[in-house]
Homo-oligomer: A and B are copies of this chain.
């Protein structure tokens, strides 16, 4: 069998995760398959000549960082024009979206509508957890053109969550319940704040401050505490069930308990937010004590329960778990996701591990790229 054509790769949003993708692709094996074509940040870009076989991932990243800031003046419009032009981006191609940009997500149907093979791999949740109309448009275009969309890293980063759900669905298992700690930040906060068998004295606001200083939270911690990240992941899972749950407004249709106190909901300044957060410690302390007296810890979880309601019940919020429960003995900022199904019951299938971080997120992306290469070009990697 002749060596298949290399796949041309565009990475949009070369930040922490995008950089790791570039580095992970820089192995002897993967360089034969993936030819980096161009790299974009929000302001800069570089194009790589296909005759340039001497680049290294480090040289590319350095070139991107040192290039003139004006090379991507047209922004998304310029990127889209470039991507859709098979002379600029020869086919077959993969577009990697490592941004968290809604506007780029809105362009997926247009990219996938291309009649020449151009596939999409992304850890960006926006396209799949927003309006149902966008998610459906992506599915419809992809089914029509056979351009593939892979999104393992949108839930649990490199953990095999999406692929496991898919395997359960395509082999005809029946999902009964999906339950888990889906946010690395929420995991860290509550693993510190509420521990089995130990009545810690640390206040909730202190744990948030510590997480913020370690860089575990968004720049404004309210963006983690509002629970929307968990709601987005639940939405993605719910739309990939054999009978998808209808969520017209996406993550905004998921009932979500925000941990941002009402009085702080309009505070835009993170410093003011952190200064005023201790005023609400007593309420968190009360919830923790109540759980402790029941032999439980508090965890911020997402739940899709398909047993209680014909349309399925989704919710994101605080729940109590006994000290011996796998969710209670979690540590660090690990994710843990349990699938209860017709086959996996009474004991669920559980996957646990780091669900955030540049290297594991990039691993999910590169794993997806390899699947695209195997699926579309017959590579056996």
Contacts and interface: CB of A to CB of B under 8 A. Distances in A.
A112 to B, nearest CB: 12
Interface size class of A (residues with CB under 8 A): 35 or more
A248 interface: no
Given A146-B380, A347-B334, A349-B352, A367 B160 contact: no
A307 interface: no
A326 interface: yes
Interface string A349-381: 111111001011011001100100011101011
A164 B173 contact: no
A102 interface: no
A376 B374 CA distance: 9
A350 B354 CA distance: 10
A357 B345 CA distance: 12
Contact of A363 (B29, B171, B357): B171
Given A160-B163, A164-B160, A363 B343 contact: yes
B350 A352 contact: yes
Contact of A347 (B24, B27, B30, B332): B332
Contacts of A163: 160, 163
Contacts of A366: 171-172
Copies of the protein in its oligomer: 2
Contact of A367 (B30, B146, B167, B367): B167
Contacts of A7: none
Nearest to A27: B172
B334 A329 contact: no
A144 to B, nearest CB: 10
B353 A24 contact: no
Contacts of A376: 378
Between A160, A173, A326, A353, the greatest number of chain B beta carbons within 10 A of the residue's beta carbon is seen for A353
Interface string A221-253: 000000000000000000000000000000000
A332 B27 CA distance: 42
Contacts of A158: 167, 171, 343
A238 to B, nearest CB: 20
Given A344-B354, A375-B374, A363 B24 contact: no
A170 interface: yes
Given A351-B351, A380-B143, A329 B326 contact: yes
Contact of A170 (B167, B351, B360, B381): B381
24 contacts: A1-B146, A24-B171, A24-B172, A27-B172, A29-B170, A146-B378, A158-B167, A158-B171, A158-B343, A159-B349, A160-B164, A163-B163, A167-B367, A168-B363, A171-B366, A326-B326, A331-B347, A343-B354, A343-B359, A343-B363, A347-B353, A349-B353, A352-B352, A375-B375
Given A30-B172, A148-B380, 9 more contacts: A27-B172, A146-B380, A159-B349, A163-B163, A171-B366, A171-B367, A344-B354, A350-B353, A352-B352
Interface of A: 1, 24, 27, 29-30, 143, 146, 148, 158-160, 163-164, 167-168, 170-173, 196, 324, 326, 329, 331-332, 334, 343-344, 346-354, 357, 359-360, 362-363, 366-367, 370, 374-376, 378, 380-381
